[in-house]
Each structure stands twice: as structure tokens, then as C-alpha cells.
């Protein structure tokens, strides 16, 4: 976390510093205490370990841990408008959509990216309407039902 403090002090003092790769509440708190202006919940898209927790499963505890001190962004697994609505309902301030944008760009250039963004917007609006919400502020956790047994395995911070 000393590197984050150094970055904020020396390199990003007048720019927002968002720390990506946060998957535990403890790391989110450390990031904020070290000077982060935001945290991005992400397993870096790899899920490199078989059975690794999806970023959206780590999101609620991280949102709860940092409260409204900093924005909490979700990166990973966002492919449809319903994914955006789920992330917002679980407390994300915003989502990353890098992979879909890169795929669209590779397949059809700028026009495909514009189409993707318009499609995501329509899907978000449709999902919100189906859920009976008129604005993003009304997308609350009450809209989400996950894991019928009510539990999600909580990540434990590594002791490396």
C-alpha cells in the first residue's frame, strides 16, 4: 500500500487514482486509507484459478466496507444491460465494459461500438422498466436474488 500512497502523492496528486483488482473488503479499506479515489472490483477477467470468485459476488461486501467514501466500480462479466442493472443494484457506481467494446471494435469498427453502446442503453432501460424503476438511484439490492441458499463464499485475504 506504500506504492499507492506514493502514486497519490507523487504521480496522481491532481488525478483520480482508482485501484483495480480489489476482491475483499479488507483490501478496499486499505486502498481508501492509502489514498485511492475509487476502487474497481475485479478478478482481472481471468478467473485464473478454477472456481475463483466472480467480481460481482465480491461486490456487495466491498460496497458495504467503503460506504460512500469512494466510488466502487465493477469490472468483469458485463455483457448485457441486465448485468449493468445487477451491478448497480448491488451498489456499483459504474461498470467496466472493456471486453465487449474491444470485440465490437474488432468486428465492425466504430459503428459496431456505437451500436453496442446503444444496445446496452436499450437493455438497461428495458431491465429497469421491467423491474419497475425509473432511475438508477432506485436500483437497489431488493431487486436481486442470488444463490438460493442465501450464501456466497466470502474471499479471505491472503496472508502472503
The residues annotated with a catalytic role in the active site are 44
Asked if 77 and 83 count as a contact pair (C-beta separation under 8 A), the reply is yes
| Burial tier of 51 (Cβ tally within 10 Å: 0-12, 13-18, 19+) | exposed
User: CA dist 8 to 1, 45, 117, 136, Å?
Assistant: 11, 26, 32, 30
Asked if 82 and 127 count as a contact pair (C-beta separation under 8 A), the reply is yes
Amino acid at each position: 500500500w506504500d506504492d499507492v500512497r506514493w502514486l497519490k502523492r507523487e504521480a496522481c496528486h491532481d488525478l483520480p487514482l482508482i485501484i483495480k483488482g480489489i476482491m475483499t473488503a479488507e483490501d478496499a479499506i486499505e486502498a481508501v486509507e492509502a489514498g485511492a479515489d475509487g476502487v474497481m472490483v475485479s478478478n482481472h477477467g481471468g478467473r485464473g484459478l478454477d472456481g475463483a470468485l466472480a467480481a460481482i459476488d465480491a461486490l456487495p461486501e466491498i460496497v458495504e466496507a467503503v460506504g460512500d467514501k469512494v466510488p466502487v466500480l465493477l469490472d468483469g462479466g458485463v455483457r448485457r444491460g441486465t448485468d449493468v442493472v445487477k451491478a448497480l443494484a448491488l451498489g456499483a457506481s459504474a461498470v467496466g465494459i472493456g471486453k465487449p467494446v474491444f470485440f465490437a471494435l474488432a468486428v465492425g469498427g466504430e459503428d459496431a461500438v456505437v451500436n453496442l453502446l446503444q444496445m446496452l442503453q436499450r437493455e438497461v432501460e428495458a431491465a429497469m422498466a421491467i423491474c419497475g424503476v425509473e432511475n438508477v438511484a432506485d436500483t437497489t439490492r431488493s431487486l436481486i436474488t442470488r444463490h438460493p441458499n442465501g450464501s456466497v463464499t466470502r474471499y479471505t485475504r491472503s496472508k502472503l
